[in-house]
């Protein structure tokens, strides 16, 4: 079975690269990484066997709940398509454009009032 690389893997790489200034990444499992970050941020040990608090339940979901539609839900453009497929495109606010860089935006094509 192929190793699953998802959101936690991306977060782990980002956090360690940021903290270690591009030094070697410490190889730990997703579960261990979440436990370490939870203890660091919350000040108490994470109980994944019997999660009681909202924060513990969120951590449990991060580790054990890997539904494929979550990938679409975290991408703003893909999330709009996903929601449109469920409730219909007439309920979705139109997208004016998708850009990778600020310099690519043609402000002459955008209305006077918009959300960016």
Higher pLDDT, 65 or 114: 65
DSSP 28-79: --HHHHHHHHHHHHHSS---SSS--SHHHHHHHHHHH---THHHHHTSHHHH
Q: What are 44-73's pLDDT values in tens digits? A: 999 999 999 999 999 999 999 988 888 888
- Mean pLDDT for 88-98 is 91
Spatial distance between the Cα atoms of 93 and 82, rounded to a whole number of angstroms? 13
Is pLDDT of 11 > 80? Answer: no
Is pLDDT of 13 > 80? Answer: no
Report which of 62, 98, 69, 67 is spatially closest to residue 83, judged by C-alpha positions: 69
Spatial distance between the Cα atoms of 2 and 5, rounded to a whole number of angstroms? 9
């Amino acid at each position: 079975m192929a190793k699953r690389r998802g959101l936690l893997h991306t977060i782990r790489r980002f956090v360690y690269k940021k903290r270690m200034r591009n030094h070697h990444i410490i190889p730990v499992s997703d579960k261990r990484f979440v436990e370490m970050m939870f203890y660091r941020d919350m000040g108490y040990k994470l109980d994944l066997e019997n999660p009681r608090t909202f924060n513990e339940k969120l951590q449990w979901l991060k580790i054990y709940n890997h539904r494929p539609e979550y990938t679409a839900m975290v991408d703003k453009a893909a999330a709009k398509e996903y929601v449109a497929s469920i409730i219909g495109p007439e309920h979705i606010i139109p997208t004016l454009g998708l850009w990778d860089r600020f310099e690519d935006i043609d402000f002459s094509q955008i209305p006077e009032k918009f959300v960016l």
